Structure 1
């Protein structure tokens, strides 16, 4: 601010990553025009532009953890569901996101939402206590059928957008169900999967729907009666053993033409399929760690976006089968940050000990690896020479040189502290560093411990004058 009349202006939002759970699909969904995608994190829903990293809107009106969000085909509304079974339907055309309707439906976590093609009907499934699914008119909440027939939690649901109308669902009882209507009623149950059926989707013209399961199989069904018409099998991968993937398939998504299909799996791959030929035409392999499992995927106009167990969002070119970009960041609470003196880079740290470097000019982000701290990071300080100082609840302080340029294979100089550190600061030249801990103030010179001053209070934070002559610390008040 340069004068009393000016106000602070928000320049951008650096969004949270999706909050993932191992073994559970992570729902991603696209806007009708294919330019934006949705995901949930914490109590919020994030609306992100696939081409503009800084273009992000956040909906924060849920009172508990959000589970899934879906655009209406009209593009005017988004429906979001939370872990208590509540659905909120809200406006997308205004920044205030005016609430259209709110319903409590299944008394448990909502796993998936589907809209009819006219944006008038909605189907919701999840882990309810009295029922696992419900279909209703979105503006009044009036029931539009009965989604019974599966004996365990329903995991996924989709509408057929052409006549005759159908609803299809998958369930943890390993089955796929088809419902006819409206009003919708149970028609047929299919037992093709041997483990949880986790995702089910119609193609654009409704001629085929596909189901994906924890057994690694992807089954194709005829769109109206549900007869099995085929199965996607990767004959080139010896690990698959007559299945689509060697691990469970968490998600699938059709392209906008309904001719190709992308699948996301716990085997740490995405596969793109030519459905008519029943052949895999491209495989995108990620890393070898558990965090590289693929839990969600959505096909946008000219990109595919997938979500790893780490929460990272991967941008895939569906023509070259290559990873074009990876959006990194945090999906746990941010506990510390440090800004470079020139304002070009920002470092943030989280509850799990991860450190991310953001380039503020373009929004790109990278993780500092390997993990420097084993638990929550309490403070960060970035020196002018590019050294990043961090303190963590593992009772250590770490000095990581060249953090602005070298992110992989970080080799910090670490020191064990006598108690849990709470704050850190340094002189302008960075030669003297001070740390406030629970039981002492510690002074470091040239990355070596110079002096320990025991205190009779619980230190909370600390500040050092640029010339190093004045030290100020704050204590916890009881």
Structure 2
């Protein structure tokens, strides 16, 4: 019988870079917003950002994605100059067309209001932009007039169509069409022009630059009609602007760590949103979608701004923007929390190794990160105990036990291992199981009580049964081995076959009758202990990478994570 298993949740942050604008896109109905991270495009529900979808068909890093005005398609562009146009109405996101209009990074995309023409700009050798028909790739004009990289493009959403661009050459350009032809150069800015956006009614367009200036122009003629702010709009460079649905206001995101809400007619700031004082609080993108005002911080966090309380966002959507190494699940007072961890290099500290943990509310997607100093090297696995502790194992050859209630790493309760641990799990009664290089170690109350060597295969990962009597161990031979009476670890029952490469993650189901495995073959299986031939297969859970972590919320809900920086929840039906 075919099993129907559904992915319902996705948690992924934006991956921004300092000094580079980050484009947020919105669907025309105002229900979703989208952004890019690595090779993926992430679509999230704006009311409940825990609900999301992910597009993974780009072979290279994708920089920008935009909905068509019809809402039926999304165009996304990558660093090689390739643009993919794909369907939004079906879960499979079928590819409609693919083109390579320029020979370098695509930085921005714009559609005409009839969803028939697309403009793209960015880096290139022969040219920095192109305009073409979406269904044939045929040119409908020329984007010229710039001598350097074009950062931004937008098209007036009413006839007669107009097109505007902004470039690193400190200029903007204005075009008429179609076919689009260069009309004149806009020379008002003194530094890079980072963003160009037409108002929804087409009456005006705004340009924003690294000089902290915002200029307003007539949408039909391109004539300058004003600017925002008395001297400058912001004290720092401006990376993005976004208009209100009624075209009377706009928001701007700046490197001065603020977002401002402007009355465009008066040219004055109505509200200033102070986003913090740290470097990570630089504001690199923004979106006005229906009643929602969003901004992107350098930290990768997405902020829901509050007009009535400008110093505190209504909501901050946090998450990982880098490869996730591991995760686990913990229940507390009726709430389920997902804990996930990343590992990355901090360049400013001579490549010192940092480990960061996040904890997530499984129902809402709300999350935050641990404080304090964690491991000194990459963390391989993590698990929670019935005593309310987070147990982590690291390439620094230690196990670390951290009190979950405090949400802060502790220097105490660290166990030094004889060999580098690859995996750790826990069961009732203070039991922990560590799979190390060449050794499996059983611990009770943070003390080693038994070790197993020379077991006939290279163990990669292991999980102890919640009852504490059985362990499942995944080997480099591609098999899963069940060990019974683990205090002696001498009895082996069935071997579970299915993976074409070594399993790297394991998790017991709360029903104690099933366990899940994730392998380097990018497959996830849910196994039945009593019958190794009865298994549920979840192919391509994370299309770009293998599953790096597994955990169960309940017997029908499995959580997976991967190096694509996403966390997903799956409904499992037996």
2:435 is matched with 436
TM-score relative to the length of structure 1: 0.88
- C-alpha distance 97-461 of structure 1, shift in aligned 2 (>3 A): closer
- C-alpha distance 54-193 of structure 1, shift in aligned 2 (>3 A): same
- 1:346 is displaced (CA, Å) by 1.6
- 1:306 is displaced (CA, Å) by 1.6
2:47 is matched with 51
- C-alpha distance 472-364 of structure 1, shift in aligned 2 (>3 A): closer
CA contact (8 A) 2:283 2:297 kept: yes
1:171 is matched with 167
**Higher relative contact order (Cα pairs below 8 Å, separated by 6+ residues):** 2
CA contact (8 A) 1:302 1:318 kept: no
Aligned 1:59-98 pairs, distance under 5 A: 59-98=55-94
Aligned residue for 1:291, secondary structure, equals helix
CA contact (8 A) 2:389 2:402 kept: yes
1:130 is matched with 126
| Unaligned ranges ≥5, structure 1 | 236-241
Take 1:467 and 1:99, find their aligned partners in 2: how far apart are those partners? Answer: 48
Aligned 1:376-395 pairs, distance under 5 A: 376-395=378-397
Aligned residue for 1:307, secondary structure, equals strand
Which of 314, 327, 330 aligns to 1:324? It is 314
CA contact (8 A) 1:437 1:458 kept: no
Take 1:267 and 1:152, find their aligned partners in 2: how far apart are those partners? Answer: 25
1:210 is matched with 206
1:271 is matched with 260
Take 1:291 and 1:419, find their aligned partners in 2: how far apart are those partners? Answer: 37
Which of 339, 359, 362 aligns to 1:360? It is 362
Take 2:364 and 2:208, find their aligned partners in 1: how far apart are those partners? Answer: 36
CA contact (8 A) 2:11 2:365 kept: no
Aligned residue for 2:10, secondary structure, equals coil
2:239 is matched with 250
- 1:476 is displaced (CA, Å) by 5.0
Q: Are positions 1:17 and 2:13 aligned together? A: yes
Q: Are positions 1:293 and 2:292 aligned together? A: no
Q: Are positions 1:462 and 2:462 aligned together? A: yes
Aligned residue for 2:6, secondary structure, equals coil
- 1:354 is displaced (CA, Å) by 2.2
- 1:417 is displaced (CA, Å) by 5.0
Aligned residue for 2:222, secondary structure, equals coil
Question: For 1:51-72, what per-residue CA distance to the aligned partner results, in whole angstroms no more than 9, with x for missing partners?
Answer: 1234312222222211111111
1:350 is matched with 342
2:402 is matched with 400
Aligned residue for 2:273, secondary structure, equals strand
- C-alpha distance 302-406 of structure 1, shift in aligned 2 (>3 A): farther
Take 1:411 and 1:295, find their aligned partners in 2: how far apart are those partners? Answer: 34
Take 1:371 and 1:103, find their aligned partners in 2: how far apart are those partners? Answer: 47
1:238 is matched with none
CA contact (8 A) 2:335 2:361 kept: no
- 1:259 is displaced (CA, Å) by 1.0
| Unaligned ranges ≥5, structure 2 | 345-354, 478-501, 503-574
Higher deviation after alignment, 103-112 or 332-341: 332-341
Q: Greater strand share, 1 or 2?
A: 2
Take 1:211 and 1:311, find their aligned partners in 2: how far apart are those partners? Answer: 24
1:239 is matched with none
